[in-house]
Amino acid sequence: MTIVFDTLAKIGFFFVLIMGLVVVLIWMERKGAAFIQDRTGPNRASIGGVRLAGLVHPVADVFKLLFKEDVAPANRHAALYNLAPWLVMTVAMSTYAVIPFGDYLTVAGRRVPLVAADLSVGLLYVLAIASLATYGVVMAGWASNNKFTFLGGIRATSQMISYEISMGLALMGLVLVFSSLRLTDIVAGQGDLIWGFLPKWGVVVQPLGFILFIVAVFAETNRNPFDLPEGESEIVAGFHLEYSSMKFALFFMAEYAHMVIGASLIATFYFGGYQIPWLPRPLIEANAGLILTLKLIGVALISMMIAMLFFRRAQKEKGKFGDARDREPVLGAGLWVLVAGGALAGLVLKPWTIGPVGADMVASLLQVMAFVAKVVFFAWLFIWVRWTLPRFRYDQLMHLGWKVWLPLGLANLVVTALVMAIV
């Protein structure tokens, strides 16, 4: 019974993480794109005049899409048409079952591993599920009964097939190094140090494999420069052209969920997952009190600095708009002062005297935070790349996948195997 409860709690954690990140990522995407292009970005939606630097926009978008008319093509294949967005979304979420987001957490004396399903073939599971996502896209493209969506579906299929191979080959090298298909083993293996100072991260032992993998992941998520299935300039919006309202929103969210998964996979396979370099778990647990104290002080200091920035802006822009928007900087300053105050108040509880149970929790918390931080960074990388690179042409995409990435993947595998055999 407890294992069911544990698993449900872990699923809940991932659901909250993905959904929360989707909202944040949409905001990051729009605002980041704007800043990269020297624009201001979304800054109009507000709650009572408070705009939260555009963070209200994703919320407003959700409401808009919820209440929008669901326009569907007359000659669609109704069942597949309705199923497709759910399939895409479900597949995107289910990859998370095997991704470890922490080592373990001791709850009431039980060691609960922080992974929903610690499969011995986790890596194969990841590859299998990733292929399934294609089905949603193809179904959407075909069931819409529209030439453009159909083209989008076909593009998605050929693209996924092409890049799944190099993705699998890249991962094989990793499997050779860590001798396991189990994701927890791979992450745990990355906690070691090579020659006593270099973290044994995937990116260090498999640099070529990392490049192959990250490009393949970009292609698998249909993100720029590999977003040919959408291809606005040629095929309007590709496979989701005929979707509107909440069904479109599901595709939209699935794209960001895929990004989160892609980022998680990159972090898990090549950047040590939840591992904090040079800070193995025993070390954290031994110095938990000190770390927690330092952390609280650090949070308080940084929050105060941000609050100061807001305060300065409030001084500078006094009465700029003449309405509720003028209160925003003050509000921001207040919020960060509150955070700082909270952190300082935590010091009153004497965190340096923390016990072993607390030390365990601190260690798990830090690991989860490290994992989330890595995921957010790589998700940002997705966005960053999108607003930097132009889209590939289709022949370039195929050329890269089959003539460059596949031989490189094979070479990487062979070399890795030779090295492993010799060492």
The site for another protein (CB under 8 A) is made up of 32, 35-40, 211, 321, 384-385, 387-389, 395-396, 399-400, 404
Contacts of 202 (CB under 8 A, 6+ apart): 174, 177, 186, 190, 209, 210, 269, 270, 271, 272
DSSP labels, 357-368? HHHHHHHHHHHH
**Residue 99, phi then psi, degrees to nearest 5:** -90, 120
Closest approach, Cβ 307 to another protein, in A, equals 17
| Structure token digits, residue 198 | 């270099």
Which is closer to another protein, CB of 324 or CB of 369? 324
User: Nearer Cβ to another protein, position 51 or 155?
Assistant: 51
Q: How far is the CB of 270 from another protein (least distance, A)?
A: 16
Which C-beta is closer to another protein: that of 39 or that of 110? 39
> Which one, 134 or 159, has the nearer CB to another protein?
159
Query: C-alpha 324: how far from its chain's center?
Result: 34
**Partners of residue 107 on adjacent β-strands:** 110
Calpha distance 256→17 (Å, rounded) = 12
The one-letter amino acid at 32: G
Q: How far is the CB of 211 from another protein (least distance, A)?
A: 7
Q: Min. distance of Cβ 172 from another protein in angstroms?
A: 21
Does residue 108 sit in helix, strand or coil? coil
- Which residue lies nearer to another protein by CB, 120 or 315? 315
The distance of closest approach from Cβ of residue 293 to another protein in the complex, given in angstroms and rounded to an integer, is 31
Helix (H) or strand (E) holding 326: none
13 vs 387, beta carbon nearer another protein: 387
Smallest gap from Cβ 53 to another protein, in A, equals: 10
> What is the nearest approach in angstroms of another protein to the Cβ of residue 387?
6
Q: Hey, what long-range contacts does 321-329 have (CB within 8 A, 24 or more apart)?
A: 323/49, 324/46, 324/48, 324/49, 324/50, 325/46, 325/49, 325/50, 325/51, 327/49, 327/50, 328/49, 328/50, 328/51
> Strand 110-113 and strand 193-194: pairing?
unpaired
Closer CB to another protein, 15 or 35, in the complex: 35
- At closest approach, how far in Å is the CB of 393 from another protein? 9
Considering the complex, state which of residue 182 and residue 386 has its C-beta at the smaller distance from another protein. Answer: 386
Shortest distance, position 36 Cβ to another protein, whole Å: 5
Cis check: omega of the bond before 73, within 30 degrees of 0: no
Enclosing H/E stretch for 112: strand 110-113
The total number of residues shown for the chain amounts to 423
**3 state SS of 388:** coil
Quick one: 15 or 321, whose CB is closer to another protein?
321
Comparison of 37 and 353: residue with beta carbon closer to another protein: 37
Q: Among all chains, which residue has been given the structure tokens 């030390």?
A: 359
Q: Which amino acid is at 332?
A: G
> Residue 167 Cβ, how far from another protein at the closest point, in Å?
17
Tokens matching residue 186: 């791979």
Which one, 177 or 383, has the nearer CB to another protein? 383
List the beta bridge partners of residue 194. Answer: 198
As a whole number of Å, the end-to-end CA separation of the chain is 45
Shortest Å distance, C-beta 399 to another protein: 7
The enclosing H or E element of 313 equals helix 288-316
Residue 50 DSSP code: B
